[in-house]
Copies of this chain bind each other. A is one copy, B any other.
Amino acid sequence: MLEAAAGLVKRHGPDALTMRGLAAALDTAVTSIYWHVGGREALLDALVERTVAELGEIRPCGRTPEERVAGVARDLRRQLRDHPHLVALVHERGLTERMFLPAQRVLVREAHAAGLRGARAAEFVRAVQFQVVGHVLVERNRERAPAQHPDERELWSTETAGDDPVLARALALPVDTERLFETATRALVRSLLAPTSPTCPPDSAG
């Protein structure tokens, strides 16, 4: 039954999961679902629970901590993108974060490997987590966006952008989210893993 529900969600999205529809798919009465799982809310809870438990396999690889963290981030993003509907459900019910507990452990290990400890390591872990989840949420958002009135593309295509036509042209193109994610993540990781104090150049006293 949970299987059938997951199937419906995977194929047609969370809204397609109606009690009557599920009952029809299971060739049973609507009310028997209530006896087994108890209401739509409980059904979604169970589904989300299952999804959260299923995701989480991560094995870091790479030479430097920066590379390994970037790889972990990339894997996480991939996992989230591969199950858009289920992740949407998890997100809808506010559990996106809990899905990340296994990843947190891996990131802690990498922070330590880079020489980061204590509060700064904790901040690093969370910054990467927010980066990944945030990026995926924005991507999902963009993908759902219908072509709208003064669209980003056409708006920048008529703009000079302060004598920088290359920039205007770049912003008129659709975003290469893959590349943007890589660049932003690496920039963030590099900066946070840097051994020196945030506001001082590398050869300063600290």
Contacts and interface: CB of A to CB of B under 8 A. Distances in A.
Interface of A: 91, 93-98, 101, 104, 108-109, 111-112, 117-119, 121-123, 125-127, 130-131, 133-135, 137-138, 141-146, 148-152, 155, 161-162, 164, 166-167, 170-171, 175, 179-180, 183-184, 186-188, 190-192, 198, 201-202
A94 B141 contact: yes
Contacts of A190: 191, 198
Nearest to A188: B188
24 contacts: A93-B145, A94-B143, A94-B144, A94-B146, A97-B138, A98-B151, A108-B162, A108-B167, A108-B171, A118-B164, A118-B170, A119-B167, A122-B170, A123-B183, A126-B175, A133-B134, A133-B138, A134-B137, A137-B138, A183-B192, A184-B188, A187-B188, A187-B198, A202-B202
B94 A164 contact: no
Contacts of A133: 134, 137-138, 141
